[in-house]
A = this chain, B = another copy of it.
Amino acid sequence: MRYLLTTLLLLSAVALQAQNTVEKWGCAEITFTHVTSGNPFDVTLEATFTNGDKHLTVRGFYDGDNTYRIRFMPTEVGTWSYSTRSSARALNRQKGTIIATEPTEKNHGPVTTEGLGFRYADGTTYHPFGTTTYALSLFRPEIQEQTLQSLAKTGFNKTRFCILPKDYPTTHDAPTLFPFEMISKSVDAEGKTVYEWDFTRPNPTFFQNVDRRILDLQKLGIEADLILFHPYDKGVWGFDRMGEEFDRKYLEYLVARVGSYRNVWWSLANEWDLVRTKKYEDWKTLTEIVVKADPYRHLCSIHGGSAVYYDYHLPEYTHVSFQDEGPLYTMTAAGTMRQIFRKPVIADEIGYEGNTAMRWARWSPQFMTHLVMNGIMGGIYVTHGECYRDTSREDWVYWSDGSVLRGESWRRIAFLRKLVEEAPNPIRPADISRDEQTSTAGEGYFFVYLGQQILRDWVFNLPDSNSHFKRIQEGDHFRVEIINLWDMTIEECPTIFEATERINYRHYDKGHRMVQLPEAPYLLLRITKVAR
C-alpha cells in the first residue's frame, strides 16, 4: 500500500516537473521521485525517445534527495514520445511526450565535424578558437564567476576544463567540493592527508555545479571541452586510480548528466600518457564507454603530453587534439598535420603565454599570437592558454586554471577569429609544403603571412596552386589589405594588382608592383579578387 502511494506521488511529480516543451537541441528534463532502501545510485534508469523513425536512448541518473532525472536533447523538431526502463518498478515504463520546437536564434545545435573542419548541427560553420580553464568548475564560486565574466569579453568559443579535482603547483586553491561521497579523511604517520571515498556514490552537489558551468558557457556561446581524466591528482585524492569498475561508473554517470547539453565535447584525458595508473590500451576502453553511452555522438578526442600522439585514426575520435608546439613553429609544419590525419586537427596545447618558471608557460604574447596564426595558415586550429602569476594576490591563480585574463594574445585571437569567419571557406595552405607563407580560402581569396619579419615592401606574387579551388587567371585583379595582427588594424593598399599568366608556378603583378608595408612584424595580407 505504501508502495502504491509512492508510485502515485511519483507520477504526479513527473507531470509537474517535466518541461514538456523544449527547443530542438535544448535540454528536456524529466524528474522522478523515488525512495529506495539501497544505494540510490544503483538504480538503473533509461528512456528511449521516439519521433517517427528516430530513436534515442539516454540514461537517467540519481541527483540526490530521492530525485532521479532523465535529460534529453531532441535532435528534430516535433513530438518525441518516451518510455522508461528501470530496475525500480516505480520508475519503469513511465511514458510521456516532449515537444521540440524550432531552435531560437543563438542555438545552432551541437558541433560536429565536416571534412577537416567543424560545423554546428544546423549547418553553420564553426571555427574553434579555444582557451584553457582547467579548474573552471573546481575553484570556489567567486573565482568560477570571475572566470565566466572574463570569458564573456573574449572571442573564445571553446574552453577546456577538468571534471575531476586538480592538484598542481599553479593551483593554489583547494577544491571545496568533491565528486564522490567522502567516507573518511585522516592524517597518516607521515603527515599526509588520506581520503577514503565511496566511489559508488557520486556527490550530486559537485556534479550540479558542473551542469551549471556547462550551461553558463552555453549561454556565452562557448563549447565545453570536458577533460574526463588527467594526471594532476597524483594520488592526493585518488580519483586517478579508482579502477576499471568505478571509472566506468563515473563516465556513465557524467554522460547521463551532461550528455544532453549541446555544447559538450569529450576529451578523454589531458596528458593521457602521464596518467601512470592507466595503460595505453585502457584509454581505448574508456573512450568506447563514453562513445557507447552518448547517443548524440558529441565530439570526442584525447590529449597527450608534449609531442605524444594517440591513435587518432580510431573511429571514436572525431578529431585530433594534440599538445605539441613543434608543429606550430611554421605554417608548413602545421599544414603537414592537416594532411596526415584525414580529420580536423586542433592543437589544444602549444605552450602558454606567461611568465612562469616552467618553460611550457613563458611565451610572449606576440609569439603566442604568431603560433596561433601559423596554425590557422596551416589549416588547423589552435587553443590559447595563459599563465601569468599575479604577485599582488596571495591566492594567485593562473588563467589556465580559471580566474582573470592578464595577457595580451587573447585580444588578437578574437581579432583573428573575425578574419577567419569572414573568409568564404576554411583557410588552408594554397600550395602545400611548397609555399611557406600563402594560404587560401577559396577562389581569389588569399592570405600571405609575413610572420616575425619586418619588411618594407612585398612584391605582389601568389602561387598558381590554390588547394582544390580555382586557380588565378591572367588578368585577374586583386586588392590587398594590410592587416597588423598585433595592432589589430586593417589598412587598404591603394594599388589594385593585375595578375600575370603563370610564371614558374606563380603569378606576379603585370607591372611588378609592390605593396608598401608599415615597418612592423606580424603582418597578414588579405588578398581578394575584385571585379575590374
Residues of A bordering B, CB below 8 Å:
306-309, 311, 313, 324-327, 329-330, 332-333, 335-337, 339-340, 342, 359, 432-434, 436, 504-505
If A313-B313, A330-B329 touch, does A432 touch B307 (CB 8 Å cutoff)? Answer: yes
- Quick check: B332 and A329 within 8 Å, CB to CB? yes
Closest 6 CB pairs of A and B: A326-B433, A333-B333, A307-B432, A326-B332, A313-B313, A307-B433
A139–B420 Cα distance when bound, in Å, is: 52
- Quick check: A333 and B339 within 8 Å, CB to CB? no
- Quick check: B339 and A433 within 8 Å, CB to CB? no
Most buried by B among A306, A330, A432, A433: A433
- Quick check: A324 and B307 within 8 Å, CB to CB? no
Q: Which of B308, B327, B336, B436 contacts A324 (CB 8 A)?
A: B336
Q: Closest chain B residue to A378 by CB distance?
A: B326
Chain B residues near A337: list those with CB within 8 A. 336
- Quick check: B327 and A333 within 8 Å, CB to CB? yes
Chain B residues near A313: list those with CB within 8 A. 311, 313
Q: Which of B311, B339, B359, B436 contacts A307 (CB 8 A)?
A: B339
- Quick check: A432 and B326 within 8 Å, CB to CB? yes
- Quick check: B339 and A336 within 8 Å, CB to CB? no
- Quick check: B325 and A359 within 8 Å, CB to CB? no
Q: Which of B311, B324, B335 contacts A326 (CB 8 A)?
A: B335
This chain: how many copies in the complex?
2
Chain B residues near A306: list those with CB within 8 A. 432-434
Q: Nearest-CB distance from A128 to chain B (Å)?
A: 20
A309–B116 Cα distance when bound, in Å, is: 14
Most buried by B among A313, A333, A335: A333
Q: Nearest-CB distance from A375 to chain B (Å)?
A: 13
Chain B residues near A436: list those with CB within 8 A. 329
Q: Nearest-CB distance from A175 to chain B (Å)?
A: 31
A436–B336 Cα distance when bound, in Å, is: 18
Q: Nearest-CB distance from A435 to chain B (Å)?
A: 10
- Quick check: A333 and B340 within 8 Å, CB to CB? no
Q: Nearest-CB distance from A370 to chain B (Å)?
A: 15
Chain B residues near A359: list those with CB within 8 A. 434, 504-505
Chain B residues near A339: list those with CB within 8 A. 307-309, 324
A336–B329 Cα distance when bound, in Å, is: 11
Chain B residues near A311: list those with CB within 8 A. 313, 342
A325–B429 Cα distance when bound, in Å, is: 14
- Quick check: A336 and B333 within 8 Å, CB to CB? yes
Chain B residues near A309: list those with CB within 8 A. 339-340, 342
Q: Closest chain B residue to A324 by CB distance?
A: B433
Chain B residues near A432: list those with CB within 8 A. 306-307, 326
Chain B residues near A504: list those with CB within 8 A. 359
Chain B residues near A327: list those with CB within 8 A. 333, 336
A416–B157 Cα distance when bound, in Å, is: 49
Q: Nearest-CB distance from A80 to chain B (Å)?
A: 37
- Quick check: A336 and B332 within 8 Å, CB to CB? no
A76–B528 Cα distance when bound, in Å, is: 67
Additional A-B contacts beyond A311-B342, A336-B336, A336-B337 (8; CB < 8 A): A308-B339, A309-B339, A326-B332, A326-B335, A327-B333, A330-B333, A340-B340, A359-B434
